[in-house]
């Protein structure tokens, strides 16, 4: 049998006769307006009054502005043009509750008023968006009752439903209730159910029962196929929406918690969006920048010329990083690094990092490297000086002694070769005594050199005894009073610990002799918790700030740092200097037995 033509486009809802109860599923606010404007325009052309019940996603102002786009005189208000705009709360919830009988009665009153005003009928529309996901069952009951109450009357009703709030069941129920059903999604129309006008009571009684059954069968078949397509589309749409929500949540979490500053500026440099790191680093919140009308660029870069250079960077940057000196809300000036990306709508996305600590670390690293290079050069010079001194000592003293010993041995050999009668025993004994004395002197010289290179007492008796010995040697050599005391029972040290602490002591005593102008030195040794503490105190002039950065002090600190220890230097002008060395005691008894340096 022949079927009615299926219209597409705005005519789906605009060009139907009175007595029609239909529904429209829409995707966006723009889709809804694109459907309702021709809907009311067609009604005005047919001398039909209009009733627009407005609810979300539209506001009353949206409806008023949309009606101005109709062919209505600019001097006429929408209501004077025959179309009344009313909010859903005023229409459905008058008195604070929804009363079905009252709402249906109001439709009848509006129809009667339209006829009395000379209109051919009434064209209405209302939206279910205000319900959200609530009350769908009551909505279906209301739409069913509305369709029955308007049966055979000069009224046309278009019920609109947001697709995002509808389930597949909701769509099927709405199609069953209404004589026509269609969808509009981003401007694309689709008819779900062919148009069907409500016949008058006398015409309805004359319809052929078989024709009605054929139409119902044909319409049901078409509706079932269309419903299956729509159900699939709705399922796919919801899956896409779920994925988009997940992606949005992930991106929002990244935006909020990433440890870099992010802001979005308009073309004039006004802040539109910032993340938490931006607020924590610079001190302003997004709300403060908007409500207090804060010019963030002027606050962060108060110097006019510098601010102009920042604006130029924002205008011309293509993603490269630039370091800036940025002032925070509390007045601090920090080092920052920024990259700027321009968005398609003209806004500027800024990504920044606070690099103040990094800059300070880099500066400290450069300083440390310079100090280490200077220390390395100084230590190399000291080693060369020490080699030269030992070479002179060996050549001048030990060489002289060995040369004399050689001459005496040569003379002795010559004397003995002349025969026993020519040898004077007394002279021979004196020569041998002289040779023994030279040998003893040579031995003492070798011991002196070895002691200066590394005191044997450090290996034989341990660190504590070596410190005491060094104190006595310093006092004997310099005539400065040097006292050594402390409690150190049970201390155990490795070879590296003993050597490092002893060299620190030697360097300290050398510095006192050269610079302190002291008359007394006190050395204290103690065990405090898990540390060995060596304190060296003098009564000299006191160390100055610049002297604390000398190469000798730096070398002492490096020796302590290699042992995970530290050195504290305190100086008071006119009252002397105190050096405190703290070294962790980590060597166990087993180590002591294998390497017994106490």
Contact between 192 and 182 (Cβ < 8 Å): yes
User: For residue 298, is pLDDT > 50?
Assistant: yes
Sheet containing 520-528: give its strands across: 481-486, 520-528, 531-538, 576-584, 566-572
User: For residue 272, is pLDDT > 80?
Assistant: yes
Beta strand ranges found along 371-434 (DSSP E): none
Tens of pLDDT, residues 195-217: 544 444 444 444 455 555 666 67
**How does the average pLDDT of the chain come out, rounded?**
80
Who has greater pLDDT, 418 or 242? 242
Contact between 70 and 46 (Cβ < 8 Å): no
| Confidence at residue 71, expressed as pLDDT on a 0 to 100 scale | 55
DSSP-derived 3-state class of residue 544: coil
Among 208-212, 253-257, 357-361, 471-475, the range scoring the smallest mean pLDDT is 208-212
| Confidence at residue 261, expressed as pLDDT on a 0 to 100 scale | 94
User: For residue 452, is pLDDT > 80?
Assistant: no
Q: How far is CA 417 from CA 63, 412, 422, 447, 583, in A?
A: 140, 9, 9, 35, 64
Confidence of residue 12 (pLDDT cuts 50, 70, 90): low
460 exposed, middle or buried (CB, 10 Å; 0-12, 13-18, 19+)?
A: exposed
| Confidence at residue 10, expressed as pLDDT on a 0 to 100 scale | 58
pTM of the model: 0.43
Tens of pLDDT, residues 519-564: 999 999 988 888 889 999 999 998 887 777 777 788 888 888 888 8
Pairing of strands 348-354, 261-265: antiparallel
Contact between 58 and 44 (Cβ < 8 Å): no
Rounded Cα distance between 562 and 555, Å, is: 11
Query: Taking Cα atoms as reference points, which of 496, 492, 519 lies closest to residue 576?
Result: 519
Peptide bond into 431 cis (omega under 30): no
Rounded Cα distance between 456 and 499, Å, is: 11
List, in sequence order, every residue forming a beta bridge with 573; answer none if it has no partner: none
CB count within 10 Å of CB 138 equals 12
| Confidence at residue 210, expressed as pLDDT on a 0 to 100 scale | 58
Which spans in 205-352 are helix H? 209-257, 276-282, 286-291, 296-300, 304-316
Query: Taking Cα atoms as reference points, which of 49, 46, 114 lies closest to residue 78?
Result: 49
Tens of pLDDT, residues 37-94: 888 888 888 888 999 999 888 888 888 888 877 654 433 444 446 889 998 888 888 7
User: For residue 158, is pLDDT > 80?
Assistant: yes
């Amino acid at each position: 049998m022949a079927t009615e033509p299926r219209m597409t486009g705005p005519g789906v809802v605009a060009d139907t006769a009175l007595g029609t109860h239909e529904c429209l599923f829409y995707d966006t606010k723009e889709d809804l307006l694109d459907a309702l404007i021709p809907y009311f325009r067609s009604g005005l052309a047919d001398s039909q009054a209009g009733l627009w019940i407005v609810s979300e996603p539209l506001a009353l102002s949206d409806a008023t502005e949309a009606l101005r786009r109709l062919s209505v005189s600019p001097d006429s208000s929408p209501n004077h043009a025959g179309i009344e705009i009313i909010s859903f709360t005023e229409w459905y919830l008058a008195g604070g509750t929804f009363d079905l009988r009252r709402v249906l009665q109001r439709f009848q009153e509006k129809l009667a008023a339209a006829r009395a005003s000379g209109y051919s009928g009434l064209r209405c529309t209302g939206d279910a968006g205000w319900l959200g996901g609530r009350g769908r069952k009551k909505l279906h009951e209301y739409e069913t009752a509305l369709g029955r109450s308007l049966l055979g009357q000069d009224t046309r009703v278009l019920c609109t439903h947001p697709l995002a709030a509808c389930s597949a069941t909701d769509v099927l129920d709405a199609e069953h209730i209404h004589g026509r059903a269609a969808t509009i999604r981003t401007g694309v129309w689709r008819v779900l159910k062919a148009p069907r006008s409500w016949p008058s009571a006398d015409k309805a009684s004359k319809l052929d029962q078989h024709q009605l059954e054929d139409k119902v069968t044909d319409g049901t078949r078409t509706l079932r196929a269309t419903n299956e397509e729509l159900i699939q589309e709705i399922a796919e749409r919801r899956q896409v929406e779920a994925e988009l929500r997940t992606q949005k949540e992930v991106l929002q979490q990244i935006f909020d918690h990433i440890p870099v500053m992010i802001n979005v500026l308009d073309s004039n440099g006004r802040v539109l969006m910032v993340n938490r790191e931006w607020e924590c680093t610079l001190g302003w919140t997004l709300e403060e920048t908007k409500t207090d009308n804060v010019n963030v660029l002027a606050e962060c870069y108060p110097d006019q010329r510098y601010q102009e250079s920042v604006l130029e960077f924002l205008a011309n940057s293509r993603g490269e990083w630039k370091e800036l000196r940025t002032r925070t809300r509390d007045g601090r000036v920090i080092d920052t690094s920024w990259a700027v990306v321009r968005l398609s709508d003209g806004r500027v996305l800024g990504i920044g990092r606070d690099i103040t600590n990094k800059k300070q670390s880099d500066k400290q690293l450069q300083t440390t490297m310079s100090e280490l290079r200077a220390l390395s050069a100084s230590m190399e010079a000291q080693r060369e000086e020490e080699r030269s001194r030992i070479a002179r000592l060996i050549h001048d003293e030990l060489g002289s002694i060995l040369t004399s010993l050689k001459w005496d041995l040569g003379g002795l050999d010559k004397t003995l070769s002349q025969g026993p009668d020519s040898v004077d025993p007394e002279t021979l004994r004196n020569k041998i005594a002289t040779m023994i004395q030279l040998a003893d002197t040579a031995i003492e010289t070798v011991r002196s050199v070895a002691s200066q290179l590394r005191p044997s007492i450090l290996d034989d008796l341990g660190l504590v005894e070596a410190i005491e010995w060094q104190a006595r040697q310093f006092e004997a050599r310099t005539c400065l009073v040097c006292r050594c005391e402390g409690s150190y029972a049970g201390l155990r040290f490795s070879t590296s610990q003993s050597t490092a602490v002893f060299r620190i002591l030697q360097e300290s005593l050398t510095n006192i002799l050269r610079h302190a102008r002291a008359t007394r030195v006190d050395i204290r040794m103690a065990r405090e918790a898990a540390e060995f503490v060596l304190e060296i105190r003098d009564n000299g002039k006191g160390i100055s700030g610049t002297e604390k950065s000398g190469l000798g002090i730096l070398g002492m600190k490096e020796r302590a740092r290699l042992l995970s220890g530290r050195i504290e230097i305190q100086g008071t002008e006119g009252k002397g200097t105190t050096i405190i060395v703290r070294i962790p005691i980590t060597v166990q008894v087993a180590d002591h037995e294998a390497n017994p340096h106490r």
